[in-house]
Amino acid sequence: MLVDLHTHTDASDGALKPCDLLRQAGDAGIALLSITDHDTVAAYRDLKQPSYVTPHLIPGIEFSTEWNGIGVHVLGLNIDPDSDAIRAGAASQQVARRERAERIGEKLERIGIPDALAGALAIAGPSVIGRPHFARFLVDTAIVRDTAQAFKKYLGAGKVGDVKQCWASLTQVIDWIRDGGGIAVLAHPGKYRLTPTKRLRLIENFRHLGGQGMEVISGRQDPLLTQTLAAAATTFNLLAACGSDFHRPDQRWAQLGMPLDLPAQCRPVWDAW
Ligand code: AMP
Ligand code: MN
Ligand code: MN
Ligand code: MN
């Protein structure tokens, strides 16, 4: 059974409309899907799924937070998108995103790149603003040649546009998810700039604060990392999730319908709902 519990639409930084994502996921043979946009559940607003359509849709969200100075993401899976906790959490994170965008704009201005905030906001339109919209502005104005260079020079970890001190705490996002009826899942633990020891400390801390699951598979990844993460999930008694982190059709390492099979030792998160 194909399961993909981590995807993005144009409600945040993905390319597809929610209905198109749902259709393409069905065409790709996905049986169980979650749309997990950054700090918004807007995709679910207009998406009342007819019962005959595959895949089965699990409401989700991806919250941004910070742990020990590192930007960390937490998925809320099987949440109630209309709950007070999720509404309040998403609203507060969206204010934080807007304020962060202003700071990114100021910082870019200070190093000689004017109008980035207005440019990024225009590109984002009704979508929740994020660094990818600044990246597109930098590409469109020929300041960089592509998105990868935009992150490498201006927006990635440690660069001038990397502003993290705006997010709700890890405890807070875990509480929003729990209060919203969902399961808090540590997203892509292999993608942070952490040593293996620090990564284990993050996983342990996440568990201690009430987190219930972790992504053992995120897109195309090294089988050795999969084994390491599966072992950590077992050690800390965390449910296992898998997702492509799909954003757009041209990213070959994160495609709808790609195999995301969890190792046999894992307890899949969908067994818990
Ligand atoms: P934000 O949510 O505003 O902090 O932006 C983070 C998002 O930017 C991630 O979810 C990715 O979609 C995207 N992203 C992060 N790093 C890169 C990169 N090196 N190249 C392209 N996109 C990236
Ligand atoms: Mn993204
Ligand atoms: Mn993420
Ligand atoms: Mn994501």
Q: pLDDT tens digit string along 2-16? A: 999 999 999 999 999
Whose C-alpha lies nearest to ligand 1, atom 20? 148
Q: Which residue has the higher pLDDT, 34 or 50?
A: 34
176: pLDDT strictly greater than 70: yes
Q: What are 221-263's pLDDT values in tens digits? A: 999 999 999 999 999 999 999 999 999 999 999 999 999 999 9
Q: Is 8 in the pocket of ligand 1 (CB under 6 A)?
A: no
3 state SS of 209: coil
pLDDT at 51: 57
Q: What are 104-149's pLDDT values in tens digits? A: 999 999 999 999 999 999 999 999 999 999 999 999 999 999 999 9
**Are 73 and 60 contacting, i.e. CB atoms less than 8 angstroms apart?**
no
pLDDT at 139: 98
Whose C-alpha lies nearest to ligand 1, atom 3? 130
Exposure string of 204-213, with b = 16+ CB inside 10 Å and e = fewer, is eebbebebbb
pLDDT at 54: 77
Q: Is 73 in the pocket of ligand 1 (CB under 6 A)?
A: no
- The Å distance, Cα 169 to ligand 1 centre, comes to 20
Measured from the Cβ of residue 118, the count of other Cβ atoms closer than 10 Å reads 11
As a whole number, the mean pLDDT across the chain is: 96
Percentage of the chain with pLDDT > 90? 94
Q: What is the pTM for the complete model shown?
A: 0.97
182: pLDDT strictly greater than 90: yes
Q: Mean pLDDT over residues 93-98, rounded?
A: 97
Which residues are paired to 239 by β-bridges?
213
- The Å distance, Cα 133 to ligand 1 centre, comes to 9
Q: Is 199 in the pocket of ligand 1 (CB under 6 A)?
A: no
